[in-house]
């Protein structure tokens, strides 16, 4: 396909602090270098939608200058969106509730705009162009500031009745002694295995004098997730115990998901999943302790995400799928 008849979309991934932007074609190739920009917040800590639109403007102009057909803007956002209207229903990290951001972007640039939650976009990228291509039943799992995912079942996306499917991070682990969760309840798995939970466990180890490595790494500051992984790499017993416990809880949680849904694959992304080189391999081994069938033990694949940022790539894929240019059942061109 020559450059003149290629089709592409502007992909945007809006996270809790940064926005990733790039142009992506119908083969999943980057046409512009992916780059990051800080999300603008007002003095009350609310993300500024008008500021985001101003930051998008030069990127849209660049897309308009590219050779080929600019099919629209796909936006991946770190929270709950209505996948049909694109309305930002609840985005805790941006402090948004019922913000019609998709409509605002479409109005500003007069191009088709599609928006959905980042885990859904990552799932689309993996199904269309990634390791899950051709896989009928799989789960996407993000382990980062939060913990959760999205489901692809019987060869298609699974939304659930209210578009909340895939929230396996809010399956309860310990509602008696567990910490409060962002969802308003207590002791969800997320509160133990996501970044803040790992940092909290590291701080507790330091405070009780059990971790010389974390005491040295933290100095006068607070323990971060990254420090816990570094202390683990140095062989600090308390840090090793924390990470081992995290891997065990994730294996139990995802093992339950596999037992429930009989999945072929789990694709894992997010900053915590890259905390150590063998993190995903260890989940893959450990999860087999919690699988019900020999078939699942034999066939289940647990793999890392296929792209540096699957959600970004998936935001473009979503444009092509919604416009009927590509489908999960073979490509239209
Ligand atoms: Zn929760």
Ligand 1 mean position, distance from CA 164 (Å): 13
pLDDT for 287: 98
Ligand 1 mean position, distance from CA 169 (Å): 7
For residue 263, the CA-to-ligand 1 centroid distance in Å is 23
pLDDT in tens, 118-140: 999 999 999 999 999 999 999 99
pLDDT band (50, 70, 90) for residue 62: very high
For residue range 169-205, list pLDDT tens digits in order: 999 999 999 999 988 899 999 999 999 999 999 999 9
pLDDT of 333 > 50? The answer is no
The answer to whether 81 and 88 are in contact (CB under 8 A) is yes
Task: Show Cβ contacts of residue 196 under 8 Å, excluding neighbours closer than 6 positions.
Answer: 145, 225
Q: Give the chain's mean pLDDT.
A: 94
Domains of the chain, with CATH numbers? 7-120+309-322 (3.30.420.40), 131-304 (3.30.420.40)
CA angle at 135 for the pair 132 and 139, rounded to the nearest 5°: 65
By mean pLDDT, which of 43-47, 110-114, 280-284, 287-291 is the weakest? 43-47
Tell me what pLDDT residue 330 has. Answer: 54
Q: How confident is the model at residue 217, as a pLDDT?
A: 98
CA distances from 123 to 2, 193, 224, 318 (A): 28, 21, 28, 10
């Amino acid at each position: 396909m020559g450059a003149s008849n290629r089709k592409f979309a502007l992909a945007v991934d809006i996270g809790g602090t940064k926005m990733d932007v790039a142009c992506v074609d119908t083969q999943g190739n980057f046409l512009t270098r992916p780059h990051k920009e800080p999300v603008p917040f007002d003095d009350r800590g609310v993300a500024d939608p008008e500021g985001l639109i101003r930051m998008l403007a030069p990127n849209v102009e660049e897309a308009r200058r590219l050779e080929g057909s600019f099919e629209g803007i796909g936006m991946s956002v770190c929270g709950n969106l209505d996948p049909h209207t694109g309305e930002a229903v609840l985005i805790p990290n941006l402090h948004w509730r019922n913000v019609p951001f998709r409509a605002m972007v479409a109005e500003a640039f007069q191009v088709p705009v599609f928006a959905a939650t980042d885990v859904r976009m990552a799932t689309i990228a993996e199904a269309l162009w990634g390791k899950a291509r051709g896989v009928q039943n799989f789960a996407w799992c993000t382990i980062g500031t939060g913990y959760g995912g999205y489901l692809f079942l019987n060869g298609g996306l699974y939304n659930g009745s209210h578009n909340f499917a895939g929230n396996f991070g809010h399956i309860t682990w310990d509602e008696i002694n567990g910490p409060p969760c962002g969802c308003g309840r207590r002791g969800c798995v997320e509160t133990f295995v996501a970044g803040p939970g790992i940092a909290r466990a590291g701080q507790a180890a330091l405070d009780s004098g059990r971790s010389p490595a974390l005491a040295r790494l933290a100095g006068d500051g607070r323990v971060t997730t990254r420090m816990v992984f570094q202390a683990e790499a140095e062989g600090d017993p308390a840090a090793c115990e924390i990470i081992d416990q995290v891997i065990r809880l994730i294996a139990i949680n995802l093992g339950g998901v596999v037992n429930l849904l009989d999945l072929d694959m789990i694709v894992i992304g997010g900053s915590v999943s890259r905390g150590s080189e063998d993190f995903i391999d260890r989940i893959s081994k450990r999860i087999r302790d919690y699988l019900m069938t020999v078939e699942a033990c034999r066939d289940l694949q647990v793999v890392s995400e296929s792209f540096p940022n699957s959600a970004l790539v998936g935001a473009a894929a979503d444009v092509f799928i919604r416009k009927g240019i590509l489908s999960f059942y073979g490509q239209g061109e």
